[in-house]
Structure 1
């Protein structure tokens, strides 16, 4: 308040013409020496001046005479005297033989030190500096504006202070009554006690509720806001996938387009399902929606696997029989967990994927796989014996659709129908892996299922004709019968893609068959 009063007084002094810091002025006026004044002095609100008259005869002679006095502020335009010289220009012509020059200064009695009809050099320098622009004149509106701004700032400080005080007292009252400390929850969301190099796995273990449903929402948002995007590693109809970095650790960031908000919301909702976390399902880390004022970015943060999708991996590398079984078993294990209905207080509903394909399966560094992309997944609600299906314009990938989906004869109210459609797609994925299995005699190049029967981008009608009318399936080479592992894989494929959905194997049965295959004791679960 004292500061505001000081500023207001200062402004009033400027308007009234009083300079409180300059004792040489009287009521804001300047005292000057005056040749024509009775007291030899005058006062002005402008400058002191000296007019020199000189003779011109070949070259400039010393000043012949001079007179001094006061120049009022009214004689100035934009701070410059209309007839004052800046000390640098040429004298002005008075008549044929005489010239004159007017010089000004702005300190008390500055025009009295005349030596030998000349101005001292320091006085001339000062005179040259007097042509600078004067500060703008203060008026009543200026004072009102400054006072309003200062008053607004004072009120803002008071409001902020009162708000902080009210919040602090409210928090103390909540703590005294036994309510949880909101501030500690926010602090926990920033994970301050874990250090800058804590792995994400440790963050999940230390901050999750133990239900297997993922991190608390505040922790998720905190992690998402700290991620640095590095490069795009994939694109699809949903949007883009980026490789990002969080505290020195790589993560995958799936950025959905705003038109695919339903898929983002559904996938986040499925990932938040209790007891869903599994080694053979893509690890969910966080979700966040970021609005920059122009558009909304929908983020889904998951584990990053540098090998990429199973589609990308098989395009680049062949696999041996051990690697083939390891991949097949891990996919079946993840799908069996997804399909499983776990009862109890912390139980898990049965979930069907509905878009299983090699591009939605990721290859981990140890050679096992993790199922990803749950944007089309459906859940079975055992309490109401109903299927929680979200209406979405998207359908599964046409190439991997089961016959009943192509014919639109699937029973949408029967959850097992969706699980059987997943098993059909699983059989096609197994065919892709088996083609790339090198048993010593080489392997085939990678191809998508039905590559030799339908176009690269088949329509529903193309697939219906091949799968439902002609009942065609991917070709199984005869040489696969010479290898025990490929022979078992061939049998599983055929039992996965039966035309009759009820005759297909379950994911759990497939898992057990692969786990018991050969002497792969390390693969048994």
Structure 2
């Protein structure tokens, strides 16, 4: 009978434990908890994640997040955190706060028991308070020494000691406050001081980008200057880091999947290339009220190819340079590099003039890798991001529009990129001025579909009517434009397998560039 009771009690405890585990961890949930009138007892339940409490030292702001006074405000928030949502390369980035930043923000992550995030981490003292404390401690030590000396030494020696101490204080420089631009974490060592050093760091070791702690520290040092672009998925700001311009793409928290995917693709081993936008860092910034997701890259003041062609015409030589360097970027993406530190083949899936940037030297680099897919050659599988974004309808290949594309065959995505690239070549060629004659800038199919076409509009024109952008007659009389026209036609075939490869396009444009140099 006693054994039966014991087994029943044991089974009850096991069932209780399993039930508790299945229910996940219960956490307090409250944004801006110390704001008057905000309830502190709301909760959330997370399975396999963390309970988080955050404390932030901030300035007084209005509801739009604009600073309205220098009055110091301490903001506290509590929430549930899914571990896979706030991490890069399998690390819980949200739960780590650099020692140099703990006087501004601190985070505590736990999952040992329900409601464990009620306890709030402490903020470190401000730099000025730390300096004052050191000076006060030093002064206390001197006072004790003077008292001992007074008790054992004659007045004359005491006077001498006082004079010496006074002179030392006058001549000793004050300790400077710690430089917030220098990371003092011994795990990180010395930091790079320029973008060139950053790239050298990122290409050493695995070649997959900077360490996560360095990325976060760099992001905290950037000062936003002005907004330079806005799209459906966020804003792009010009920022300043140690006197150099950087671009900061800011995603809202609802676009977390797009931010995570783009940061993940940019950190692919061996991806860095002069014709791929240079990635610097990724970070999530939580001020206690809302979360911003930052992607930090090189800044190119000419903007996108779309903006550049709207503002400028191009010579035959600069047309070929734009087209050739863009093709080099696409070819590098598509190419698989074999080896222990190799690179998988990548397809862009949203190639268009707005996603190609123009550098100050007149060359192009490919940007916006949020929709990119990678090929695993060992398993012959395609790594597709789990987000709801689709490409730009105007640039979609026929097989994407009529949904006949084979999503399990990686070559299908590369061929769709080539179709889109053919439309970009058409946009560039129209702005080529020869003898003062050129076409005004237009988007592909501008004369066949509305300004914001639907999938049905594009499907009818591209798949049903099999129409393509018109080739002006004057192009047939100019060698460089004639070659460009042939190239784009060979990118537009309805039969995807008949289209040129990125490598073939790059080689043809390289040959055309050599011919143009000979003419010059």
* Alignment TM class, shorter chain as reference: 0.5 to 0.7
Counterpart mapping for 1:104-253 below 5 A: 183-188=185-190, 191=191, 194=192, 198-206=193-201, 208-253=203-248
Measured in 1, the distance between the counterparts of 2:451 and 2:204 equals: 46
Measured in 2, the distance between the counterparts of 1:210 and 1:508 equals: 28
Question: 1:34: which partner in 2?
Answer: none
Call closer, same or farther: CA 1:285–1:447 in 2, change over 3 Å: same
Q: Deviation string for 1:416-474 (max 9, x for gaps)?
A: 00000000000000000000000113211100000000000000000000000000000
Measured in 2, the distance between the counterparts of 1:507 and 1:212 equals: 24
- How far has the Cα of 1:201 moved from its partner? 1.3
Measured in 1, the distance between the counterparts of 2:307 and 2:469 equals: 20
1:208 touches 1:216 (CA, 8 Å); kept in 2? no
- How far has the Cα of 1:522 moved from its partner? 6.8
Q: Deviation string for 1:304-324 (max 9, x for gaps)?
A: 000000000000000000000
Measured in 2, the distance between the counterparts of 1:383 and 1:269 equals: 20
Measured in 2, the distance between the counterparts of 1:315 and 1:244 equals: 25
Question: 1:495: which partner in 2?
Answer: 490
Q: Is 1:382 matched up with 2:384?
A: no
2:452 to 450, 457, 461: 457
2:248 touches 2:295 (CA, 8 Å); kept in 1? yes
Question: 2:362: which partner in 1?
Answer: 367
Unmatched segments (≥5 aa) in structure 2:
1-123, 126-183
1:420 touches 1:501 (CA, 8 Å); kept in 2? yes
Question: 2:480: which partner in 1?
Answer: 485
* Higher CA-based Rg: 1
Alignment RMSD: 1.8
- How far has the Cα of 1:199 moved from its partner? 2.2
Counterpart mapping for 1:355-434 below 5 A: 355-434=350-429
- How far has the Cα of 1:207 moved from its partner? 5.8
Measured in 2, the distance between the counterparts of 1:498 and 1:444 equals: 24
Q: Is 1:469 matched up with 2:471?
A: no
Call closer, same or farther: CA 1:207–1:470 in 2, change over 3 Å: closer
- TM-score of the superposition, structure 2-length normalised? 0.63
Partner of 2:420: helix, strand, or coil?
Answer: helix
- How far has the Cα of 1:259 moved from its partner? 1.4
Measured in 2, the distance between the counterparts of 1:511 and 1:187 equals: 41
1:209 touches 1:215 (CA, 8 Å); kept in 2? no
2:313 touches 2:433 (CA, 8 Å); kept in 1? yes
Count of matched residue positions in the alignment of Structure 1 and Structure 2 = 337
2:426 touches 2:488 (CA, 8 Å); kept in 1? yes
Unmatched segments (≥5 aa) in structure 1:
1-155, 158-181
Call closer, same or farther: CA 1:254–1:522 in 2, change over 3 Å: farther
Q: Following TM superposition, where does structure 1 have runs of at least 4 consecutive aligned residues deviating by more than 6 angstroms?
A: none
Counterpart mapping for 1:322-341 below 5 A: 322-341=317-336
Partner of 1:447: helix, strand, or coil?
Answer: coil
Q: Is 1:441 matched up with 2:436?
A: yes
